[in-house]
Amino acid sequence: MTRMLLRDDQFERIEALLPGKISDPGKTAADNRNFVEAVLWIARTGSPWRDLPVSFGLWNSVYQRFARWSRRGVWQRVFAQLTQDADFEEVFIDSTIVRAHQHAAGAPKKKAIRRLGGLAGD
């Protein structure tokens, strides 16, 4: 089994927002927890869907469910709920997020050195 990213209390905060509950119309979801963990694994590793570990299920089935939830706005509702609790006491920004203009490095331009008369001693 792949290491889980969410603690039980973290998953319980979003569980009611996820489709496929017994009270929802249609098919009851087999395992929303495992599916959310699969999406988090993809987000954390940056791996392609095809590299999803088999313990999360068939990669294409997981991707299709992710896409369906995206179209229905499920992820937006989950993020909206979670951002209400954000305290922003600590915010981390690194170079993978912040882009600088190519001229922002601040180093002086190198000047070309011209040699007159060719090689020394000529």
Assigned domain for 104 exists: no
pLDDT score recorded for residue 98? 59
What is residue 20's predicted lDDT score, i.e. its pLDDT?
A: 76
pLDDT along the chain (122 residues), means of 10: 75 87 67 92 93 95 94 92 77 66 65 66 54
Would residue 67 count as lying in a domain? yes
The model carries a pTM of 0.65
Domain count of the fold of the chain? 1
Does residue 98 belong to any structural domain of this protein?
A: no
Identify whether the C-beta of residue 76 lies closer than 8 Å to the C-beta of residue 49. no
Q: Is residue 1 part of a domain?
A: no
Q: What is the pLDDT of residue 2?
A: 55
pLDDT of residue 99: 64
Q: Which domain holds residue 53?
A: 8-83
Crossing angle between the packed helical segments 8-15 and 32-45, to the nearest 10 degrees: 110
Print burial letters for 72-103: b (CB count within 10 Å at least 16), e (below 16). Answer: eebeeebeeeeeeeeeeeeeeeeeeeeeeeee
In a domain, 55, yes or no: yes
* Interior angle at CA 28, CA 34 and CA 9, nearest 5: 45
